[in-house]
Amino acid sequence: MNKFSPGQISEFQTRLVDWFQKNKRKLPWREKPNWYKTYLSEIMLQQTTVEQGLPYFKKFIDNFPTIIDLANSEEQRILYLWSGLGYYARARNMHKAAKKIRDEFAAEFPRDYKDALSIPGIGPYTAAAILSIAFNKTHAVVDGNVSRVISRIFAISKDIRLSSTQKQITEKAKLLLDPENPGLFNEAMMELGALICTPLKPDCNNCPVNLQCRAQAKNLVNEIPYKSPAKAKKKKFNLVFILRFNNKICLAKRPDTGLLAGMWEFPVKELNAKQFESFGENNLDQNFGIINTGPTVQSPKYRHQYSHIDLTYQAVITDLRDSVVQLSDYYEYKWLNFAELFDYPIHNAHKKILEWLKSLVSG
Ligand code: SF4
């Protein structure tokens, strides 16, 4: 009972696409669409909601109206405009991708799937999405939304994290795909997952394909998809130094590889949990060769979640006797006026510290 007949498939496609054409959201990449807008939106919306991604899409289209403008930009400018969206490797890959498309594909997105996969930051999902939506190529798209819809339509109750389950879901997505209108069909599936077949409380009464949904028929909608618990994240503790000298503040650039590569931050010292809890003014001097001249001011403790790390951190304002600091972990550092800090691509965790500093300055 896991198979759809050709008639059922055709009915599914018609119902879904009709619903999409009447109910799709007005989104800027759907207005006068082209592959560049599809490309930007697909990269930006990975691990990001449409609401979070919208202002960034507008910023990028305004600053880089074409792939050549993006390719010709400085990486630091791209990181600056991306700052706040997280997962910064996407921004750096976007710059590399733009240069490759400009130099090797005459500023056109390649129509061939293998060529598309050769572009930095483009994996099977993004390649399928761009090729189908922008060029109507027959590739099934399976993102988180589509996985959920398909697992419910076919009542697939196995752990959705397993690659064998994802393989099964991809096969089903290929089975349902409308070869005449693959782009429209893929967009419709993603939209159904975003608007109707939501993770919690899906709106089955208004679902265009509810009569063909096995999970609905078996009353399993709340049990599917099943996701095994995530592995515990590694806990890390950072002491963050707001180093001040002559009314300037030190900002440092992270190395060009690894987590948050190329982003700027206030210098950080990683501590273990015990050191972090017992931190006080009297052990400041052991860090960065710092000679502190006055009482310190400490920020509240913050938490920030990365995909594999649960970070707790606290900032401490430290006045120095001179501007020589030992920041060997960093690519470079600068002494900046308070207002100049806002011109640099500072990553999200330290943006919270910047906001805290701003509240001290304005309060
Ligand atoms: S009927 Fe409900 S569970 Fe099934 S696809 Fe539609 S919204 Fe999702």
DSSP 123-148: -HHHHHHHHHHHH--------HHHHH
The number of angstroms, rounded, from the C-alpha of 66 to the middle of its chain's C-alpha atoms is 22
Residue 90 in any domain: the answer is: yes
Note the pLDDT tens digit of each residue in 51-104: 999 999 999 999 999 999 999 999 999 999 998 888 888 999 999 999 999 999
Nearest CA to ligand 1 atom 2: 204
Q: What does the mean pLDDT of the chain come to? A: 91
pLDDT tens digits along 157-175: 999 999 999 999 999 999 9
State whether 145 and 291 are in the same domain.
no
* % residues pLDDT > 90 (the chain): 76
Is the same domain home to 207 and 303?
no
Q: Residue 204 CA: which ligand 1 atom is closest?
A: 2
Residues 83, 58: Cα–Cα separation, whole Å: 14
| 5 C-alpha to ligand 1 centroid (Å) | 19
pTM above 0.85, yes or no: no
> What is the pLDDT, as a whole number, of residue 1?
46
Its domain, for residue 257, covers: 234-362
- Helix (H) or strand (E) segment spanning residue 54: helix 50-63
Name every protein residue with a CB atom under 6 angstroms from any ligand 1 atom. Answer: 149, 152-153, 196-197, 202, 204, 207, 209-210, 213, 215-216, 221
Residue that finishes a domain, picked among 161, 186, 217: 217
The answer to whether residues 183 and 240 belong to one domain is no
pLDDT in tens, 167-220: 999 999 999 999 999 999 999 999 999 999 999 999 999 999 999 999 999 999
The share of the chain scoring above pLDDT 70, in percent, equals 95
Ligand 1 centroid distance, CA of 143 (Å): 16
Q: Ligand 1: distance of its center to the CA of 214 in Å?
A: 9
What is the band of 360 on the pLDDT scale with cuts at 50, 70, 90? confident
Residue 291: pLDDT band (50, 70, 90) is: low
Active site residue 42: yes
